[in-house]
């Protein structure tokens, strides 16, 4: 299994509070991704990173920010959590070889509940 850990694995928080989720990899892969998974929606891309300090928005980026100061860590921050951000969040990594294909490896997920 790819060396990907996510912390915390479970979190309950209140509306309006800031929340930071961490993704850590030991594979030295260049690309990292944050997804959210909701019933009936599959996985939707929030943000991704193609290198240290290089990030871009995905399909559902509103209300989220990210940072990547080291190759191994990719942080997802909810500045002011809302109930609509209750979800399971997955981190993924990839060592993309140019533009040919993009096989991603997934972490175990973080279940976030916003009350």
Partner 1 sequence: AQSVTQLGSHVSVSEGALVLLRCNYSSSVPPYLFWYVQYPNQGLQLLLKYTSAATLVKGINGFEAEFKKSETSFHLTKPSAHMSDAAEYFCAVSSMNSGYSTLTFGKGTMLLVSP
Interface with partner 1, residue 45, by CB under 8 A: yes
Interface with partner 1, residue 42, by CB under 8 A: yes
72: how many CB neighbours lie within 10 A of its CB?
18
State in angstroms the smallest separation of the CB of 86 from partner 1.
16
Size of the site for partner 1 (CB under 8 A): 27
For 75, residues 6+ apart whose C-beta sits below 8 A from its C-beta are 20, 21, 22, 23, 66, 67, 68
How far apart are the C-alpha atoms of 43 and 32, rounded to whole Å?
Answer: 15
- Which residue lies nearer to partner 1 by CB, 14 or 38? 38
Residue among 90, 93, 112, 114 that touches partner 1 (CB under 8 A): 90
Interface with partner 1, residue 24, by CB under 8 A: no
- Three-state DSSP state, 55: strand
How far apart are the C-alpha atoms of 47 and 42, rounded to whole Å?
Answer: 16
Interface with partner 1, residue 25, by CB under 8 A: no
Q: Which residues bind partner 1 (CB under 8 A)?
A: 4, 31, 33, 40-45, 48, 50, 56, 58, 90, 92, 96, 99-109
């Amino acid at each position: 299994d790819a060396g990907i850990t996510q912390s915390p694995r479970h979190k309950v928080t209140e509306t309006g509070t800031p929340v930071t989720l961490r993704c850590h990899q030991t594979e030295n892969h260049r690309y990292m991704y944050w997804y959210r998974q909701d019933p009936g929606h599959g996985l939707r891309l929030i943000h991704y990173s193609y290198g240290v300090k290089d990030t871009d928005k995905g399909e559902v980026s509103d209300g989220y920010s990210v940072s990547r100061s080291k190759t191994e860590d990719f942080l997802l921050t909810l500045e002011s959590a809302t109930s609509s951000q209750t979800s399971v969040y997955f981190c993924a990594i990839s060592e993309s070889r140019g533009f040919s294909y993009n096989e991603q490896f997934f972490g175990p997920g973080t279940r976030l509940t916003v009350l």
